[in-house]
Amino acid sequence: MTSMRFPKAADTKEMRRNHIIDTATRLIARNGLEGVSVRKVADMAGCSRGLVEHYFRNKAELVVEANRWVNTAYLERVSSLRKLSGLALLEGQLHNLLPFTDEILDEWRVRSIFFNRGSADQQIAKDSNDSFNQVYVEIWDALKYASAHGEIDPSVPVQEASELILLFVIGIAMACLLSERLRERRPLERRVNMILGMLKSGDLSALRVGDPSVEY
Amino acid sequence: MTSMRFPKAADTKEMRRNHIIDTATRLIARNGLEGVSVRKVADMAGCSRGLVEHYFRNKAELVVEANRWVNTAYLERVSSLRKLSGLALLEGQLHNLLPFTDEILDEWRVRSIFFNRGSADQQIAKDSNDSFNQVYVEIWDALKYASAHGEIDPSVPVQEASELILLFVIGIAMACLLSERLRERRPLERRVNMILGMLKSGDLSALRVGDPSVEY
DNA sequence: CACAGTACAAGACGACTGTCATATTTGCAA
DNA sequence: TTGCAAATATGACAGTCGTCTTGTACTGTG
């Protein structure tokens, strides 16, 4: 009697490996690191523990890969914005960074876990840091272009503004994890407009866009 | 042969219960929810599993209490700022919110975990949301006073600015979890000055304070 | 075809988990 | 003092965990 095996073999090893990482990522997003085990990952991925162990030396390595997975996911999405520049590029970046979709929301669910893990695991801290650094630089580039082409107020210091935007984005994403209302389209668009408005006018009065949410 | 018991009995039940919650909180901060077990909590607290089970129906209840614990910790600290108002009060709030101390850093380590848990556990989402809402309102109050007394630029919309500040703070805290350099005194002071500067002048040029960190 | 190495599955094991049940001790009321 | 309830400790159990080991199927190369 032949036992069930993993989806045939036409697809490459790389794909199978990625499929396992993706499965682990989804599990981490929904249940945290406590809710993920080699067995659960294997079951959900439709394979055996042995296969997971074949591709990853141990659970820790799988977890590290899951962290990298969500970080590269964003970078791959924004690579499709290559044709944009300046504020239009920034707006595109924000739409791929803020939890406009369930996919992005899951990415932040995972990142929230690794914010904590970074304190105990140097590798994870480094990977996460590198990733955010990359995002930061990309935002900075967009702002430099925007500033050079008069799209934003010339008094705005682009580097510091880039920091502010990235940290603001992280805060928004974390808040969205706690409140379903905040992750609706309207409030998210409002945040984007707050950022764009501030940059264009160069002052905080531009924060007043649309109807403010009475509740945090 | 008499077996070792918990620290005598002079202290009230409330104190013992809180001691257990505090222990659990520290464990969660360092190892995440995966690294906390009833046994570890009992060992670290210097008591038996039975006692933990006596005060908390199950692990989930203990975890919920740990979440509330870190949130009330902040509120108790800022209650000592009662005499301040306006921008001075805001500055005090920021010093008790940003990870200037290891204690506060641990609070954020715990919060980062519960940002994720909020997606799966309604009780935790509600508790965390309520807590952040309270912080938001307190910042808002400080800004209203500051605005009414001419401490900040009159064009700054205080409600939206309060949102911005809170979300910015969350972002800063999360970034600090990943980078030891960012949680040094200097960079943190710089963030505080960025916020205060923006409010006073009402525009983003005030973001340029001190030496910018070249790296995110 | 043969054979080697990889891809995959399953067994087994010891450690750890949450929780229920069962002691034992303590503190207070009668 | 007795007695009873709360406080605290320990035993036991059925799961689950990570991972080491072994077994089987596949696939490409000679």
CA-closest candidate to residue A107, choices A137, A63, A66: A66
Q: Supply φ then ψ for residue A164, to 5 degrees.
A: -55, -45
**Length B132 CA → C9 C1' (Å):** 49
DSSP string, A97-119: HS-SSHHHHHHHHHHHHHHHHTT
**In a 10 Å sphere around its CB, with 0-12 CB exposed, 13-18 middle and 19+ buried, how is residue A38 labelled?**
middle
Residues 115-154, chain B: which have Cβ within 8 Å of A?
Answer: 115-120, 125, 128-129, 132-133, 136-137, 153
Q: Token digits for A69?
A: 């997975």
- Distance spanning both ends of chain B, measured CA to CA: 59
Average of per-residue pLDDT across A19-39: 97
Reported residue count of chain A is 216
Measured distance between the N- and C-terminal CA atoms of chain A, rounded to whole angstroms: 60
- Partner B contacted by A172 (CB < 8 A): yes
Longest dimension (CA), chain B: 74
Average pLDDT over residues B161-173: 98
Q: Using a cut of 0.75, tell me whether the model's pTM lies above it.
A: yes
Using the beta-carbon criterion (under 8 Å), do A163 and B133 form an inter-chain contact? no
CA distances from A100 to A84, A115, A213, B23, B170 (A): 20, 21, 17, 38, 19
pLDDT digits (tens, 9 = 90+) for A111-146: 999 999 999 999 999 999 999 999 999 999 999 999
Average confidence (pLDDT) over A105-112: 98
What's the rounded Cα separation, in Å, for the pair A175 and B33? Answer: 20
As a whole number of angstroms, the distance between CA B69 and CA B30 comes to: 16
pLDDT tens track for B62-118: 999 999 999 999 999 999 999 999 999 999 999 999 999 999 999 999 999 999 999
Give the 3-state secondary structure percentages of chain A, helix then strand then coil, rounded to 5: 75, 0, 25
Helix (H, G, I), strand (E, B) or coil at A203: strand
The SS3 of residue A76 is helix
For B175-212, the pLDDT digits (tens) are 999 999 999 999 999 999 999 999 999 999 999 987 65
B58 touches strand C (CB under 7 A): yes
B193 CB less than 7 Å from any atom of strand C: no
Question: Could you tell me if A176 lies within 8 Å of chain B, comparing CB atoms?
Answer: no
CB contact at 8 A, A24 and A106: no
On the question of pLDDT at A163 being above 80, the answer is yes
- Structural domains of chain A in order of their starting residue, each with its CATH number: 1-57 (1.10.10.60), 67-215 (1.10.357.10)
The answer to whether A113 faces chain B, any CB pair under 8 Å, is yes
Cβ-7 Å neighbors of strand D: A 2-3, 5, 8-9, 36-40, 49-50, 53, 58-60; B 3-6, 9, 13, 16, 47-51, 53-54
Q: Which of B102, B119, B105, B125 is nearest to B172 (CA)?
A: B105
- Residue B86 near residue B146 (C-beta atoms within 8 A): yes
CA gap A141, A88 in Å, rounded: 12
Q: Residue B30 and residue B26: Cα distance in Å, rounded?
A: 6
For chains A and B, count residue pairs whose Cβ atoms are closer than 8 Å: 182
- Residue entry with tokens 């085990």: A37
Give me the mean pLDDT over the A6-10 stretch: 44
Q: Give the side-chain half-sphere CA count within 13 A for B101.
A: 9
Compute the distance between CA of residue B93 and CA of residue B59 in angstroms, rounded to an integer: 32
User: Residue B170: closest CA among chain A residues belongs to which residue?
Assistant: A171
* Distance in angstroms: CA B35, C1' C18: 14
Q: Which nucleotides of C are covered by protein (CB under 7 A)?
A: 7-11, 16-23, 25-27
A3 in B contact zone (CB under 8 Å): no
Residues in chain B: 216
* pLDDT value, residue A12: 79
